Structure 1
Amino acid sequence: MLGGIKNMKIALALGLGLMKVAEALPAFPGLSSSDWTSTGRALYFQTNEDSNAIVSVKIHDNGTLSEGQLTYTNGTGAREISAATNQTASPDGLSSQGSVTVVGNSLFAINSGDNTVSMFAISEDDPTNITLVGAPASVPGDFPVTVAASELNNLVCVGTSGARSGVSCAPYAANVGIGKMDFLRTFDLEQSKTPAGPLDTVSQVLFSADESELIVTVKGDPTSNKTGFVSVFSVTGAWLTEQPRLSASRIDSKLNGTVALFGFQQIPHSSKYFSTDAGFGAVIFSVDAARETSTLLHKQVIADQMATCWAAISPVTKSAFVSDPLVNHIVEMSLDDASIISVVNSTSSNDASGYIDLAAAGAYVYALSPGATEGSGAEVAVLSVSPGKEKSITQSFNVGSWAGTSAQGLAVFP
């Protein structure tokens, strides 16, 4: 495990600093891979600079990318403190997955520097054209890092990692924006206002495929004998008769054997979730909807990893892909038992040390790489995963001055 707890903590802090949030994926059983090869139309990530902005990139029919637009969130970005160096964390200053989320024709992005969340409307004619809807909503917590939205319930929820850490939610409407955020459902992380990470922070919030529950992964800290856990909140209220709300109570399940649960996605048509763990590789866990408890099912060590953090499930390969900010590779893993299927070495196509988020659409997986040095542009790699062909990076698209070493989050429309 990274050659010992001390080395692990340093590697995590340097690499992490530290989904797209998954909608219900297409049905897998009885369908050939060719049935789901249509590409996305646009890709988004945030600059996470002082004046935070969303970079919108056009996706062509062959999966390649070209410039779109830069749209400001009217919020402020920020980066956590590295617990190992006591300096501002770079790259990956949020230690999370899901800082940008697409649900339906709406895009949500957190603003860590001023504790707000922004909402945008996505144009059907040109999805790189997004419009801010209403004013950014104030979050009653410190340092928001991840956001999830339920189109069924018109509910958006934000996870925060700072001194006031936890989850809070608000209703939203497509033409109005985000309403008033409710109370903070707190986690006892003992963090400062700007958290010292990456350990002991919130990793991701994600609605289940049926949108009846919100799942949250929270990292542990072996140096303080803290085990990471999965929290499950139910959605209450009938959506036809009253505004749905997130339950005030939750069930926390410690998954013994895990170290720093990170980005995760639901395995289609199951109650299982595939999650990375920055301490060793990846796991598969299940959620019992009736009891709202979580159970570790499978654990896989990636031998040459440093901090495996982000995950995306491809409907074409029916497998998961994971990335590491400190190792220039993308690893494909089984949804059955998390075993390793393939490894794509990306050293020749990525000037930075690794990738800090992933998203899958059609026969492609997109990987975000921050700028390698201050002043250099962030890049998005296009990994072709077409059936019957060797998996390879077909493009590494640089956004130039639009975004650099602070770039975060990755989401695809539709």
Structure 2
Amino acid sequence: MRSSQLLSFIAINVGVTYSLAYPRDSQHRQNRAAYFQDNGSAGNSIVALQISSSDGTLSNPVRTSTGGEGLAGLLAISQDSVVVDDHYLFTVNAGDDTFSLFTISGDDPEHPKLAGKPLPTLGQTPVSVAYSPELQTACVLNSGSTAGISCFSISPTAPHPREVSAPLPKSSSTPPPRPLVIGADITFNPSSTALFATIANGTQAGTIYAYPIKNGHISTTPVISSFPTLSFTFSLNFLDDSDTHLLVTNPHLNSSGAAFVSVSYPSLEITLAKTITIPGQTASCWAAYAPQFDTVYVMDAARPKITALNPETGDVKGQVSFPAAAAGGLDSRVDRDWLYMLTSDSNDPKINVFEIVGGTELLKQVQSLDIFQQVGKIPDLMGMAIWPN
């Protein structure tokens, strides 16, 4: 494989901060919405759906332009392409290399409002986004031939870029090839003292980049940890509000499927704590954590099966199959007692809704929403976020 060159942009300098006052009465707590993007190359859109407060089902989809362009075919290469936090929604536009910020009204969460214009991400093929309310900063992971991280100071009116350089491997082309050498996920730790990004590499050791944060500033020098047995480090999932305990998915064919890794502070060195073998795994990419049920769910993009894990021991609690023409499950989120999951068949996409029932049954499917029937044919379903999160 061609050796990777180190190129990137990372933007961070937390400047003026802003605060928003939003009512927190029972009516606003009842209004809930789920979001994904259609990844349309002729014009990307966020699709919002109303969530029933009683049974968790989805209805009344509404499309809102992101102001940018998607890139069809990216549906299976990243986690966190759509993120909701506070009253903000963040998303990436991989087709024109931009980042969009929306504000969400508690009275009408199905109609997010674009805040300013989409901003260039200072790289190519942005695939994932992370937000820190403490820092009021959002960071985007670029994965094309100009790879790296760009960050934005967030306000209710518009994002503002900050620039500073830092290394990340680049892809050999834009859009990235498959098998992938690509950034897959980016996230802040719960305390916002470090920023983490995964590099998914199907032929070499998987890699996690960790950037220290001191006095509100993100370092330009990452701590790089490699894992020879995790050849395809994909999604990053902090568990139990812990800065040290992460689940990393490893969807490479014939791999174990997932692992626990542990972060040491202040060094930010990351070590493999436990390899988790997911029975029959083919492409275990996405994970969704349900702390109230003491369970983390791992979706397999290549088969219609969800694996439930103990978030402390990694033991497999069980596996749940779902009837679908789709190959498997993609982006997923937990909201209260329900799990929301996109399916991976671009010709017949669904959003499957499962009630989390626990015990040996684990999940009970309560809805399979036909997206094409609801909003017409769209290029790709990508990302999944819930408000309030």
Map 1:198-237; keep pairs closer than 5 Å.
Answer: 198-222=179-203, 226-237=204-215
Match of 2:267 among 291, 294, 299: 291
| Equivalent residue for 2:306, pick from 311, 320, 330 | 330
Deviations 1:23-77 (A, max 9, x none): xxxxxxxxxxxxxxx9981111000011100010111121111123110000000
Cα distance, 1:300 vs structure 2: 1.6
Give the secondary structure class of the aligned counterpart of 1:180: strand
1:262 to 225, 234, 237: 234
Which of 87, 90, 96 aligns to 1:108? It is 90
Q: Which residue does the alignment assign to 1:340?
A: 316
Q: How many residue pairs get matched?
A: 351
Contact 2:31 2:107 in 1 (8 A): no
**TM-score (ref. length: structure 1):** 0.81
Offset of 1:389 from its aligned partner?
7.4
SS of 1:304 mapped into structure 2 = coil
Q: What does 1:157-236 align with in structure 2 at a 5 Å threshold?
A: 157-174=139-156, 176-222=157-203, 226-236=204-214
The answer to whether structure 1 residue 384 and structure 2 residue 362 are counterparts is no
Q: Distance in 1 between matches of 2:162 and 2:67?
A: 18
- Equivalent residue letter for 1:107: L
Q: Confirm whether residue 274 of structure 1 aligns to residue 247 of structure 2.
A: yes
Deviation at 1:152, TM superposition (A): 1.0
Are the aligned partners of 1:141 and 1:184 in contact in 2 as well (CA < 8 Å)? Answer: no
Which residue of 334, 350, 362 maps to 1:360? 334
- C-alpha distance in 1 between matches for 2:368 and 2:165: 40
Alpha-carbon distance in structure 2 between the residues aligned to 1:151 and 1:261: 26
- Shift of residue 184 of structure 1? 4.4
1:53 aligns with 2:63: no
Distance 2:177 2:309 in 1: 30
Q: What's the CA shift for 1:195?
A: 0.9
Q: CA RMSD in A?
A: 1.8
Q: How does 1:89-128 map onto structure 2 within 5 Å?
A: 89=73, 92-93=74-75, 95-128=77-110
Q: Could you tell me which amino acid in structure 1 is paired with residue 338 of structure 2?
A: Y
**One of 101, 109, 134 as aligned partner of 1:152:** 134
Q: Cα 1:251–1:144, aligned 2, differ >3 Å: closer, same or farther? A: same
Query: Could you tell me how far apart the structure 2 residues matched to 1:305 and 1:130 are?
Result: 37
Query: Cα distance, 1:277 vs. partner?
Result: 0.7
Task: For residue 166 of structure 1, report the CA deviation from its aligned partner.
Answer: 1.3
1:263–1:402 CA distance, 2 compared to 1 (3 A):
farther
User: 1:41 — aligned with what?
Assistant: 32
**Per the alignment, do residues 44 and 140 of structure 1 end up closer, same or farther by CA in structure 2, a change over 3 Å counting?**
same
Checking the alignment, whether the CA contact within 8 Å between 2:171 and 2:182 is kept in structure 1 is: no
> Could you tell me which amino acid in structure 1 is paired with residue 106 of structure 2?
E
Asked if residue 398 in structure 1 is aligned to residue 370 in structure 2, the reply is yes
1:395 to 1:389, Cα distance in 2 relative to 1, 3 A: farther
Are 2:42 and 1:68 aligned?
no
Unaligned runs of 5+ in 2: 1-28
Which of 228, 232, 245 pairs up with 2:217? Answer: 245
Q: Give the letter for the 1:255 counterpart.
A: F
Matched residues, percent identical? Answer: 27
Tell me the amino acid that sits aligned with residue 325 of structure 2: D
Rounded to whole Å, the distance in 2 between the matches of 1:322 and 1:398 is 22
Return closer, same or farther for 1:403/1:156 CA change in 2, 3 Å cut-off: farther
Give 1:94 shift: 5.3
Give the structure, 1 or 2, with the largest relative contact order (CA under 8 Å, sep 6 or more). 1
Partners in 2 of 1:59 and 1:136 — Cα distance? Answer: 27
After superposition, the C-alpha distances for 1:291-339 in whole angstroms (9 at most, x for unaligned) are 0111111112223221110011012211110111210111111112322
Structure 1: stretches of 5+ with no match in the other structure: 1-37, 80-88, 238-243
* C-alpha contact 2:34 2:386 (8 A) present in aligned 1: yes
Structure 1 runs (4+) greater than 3 angstroms displaced: 401-405
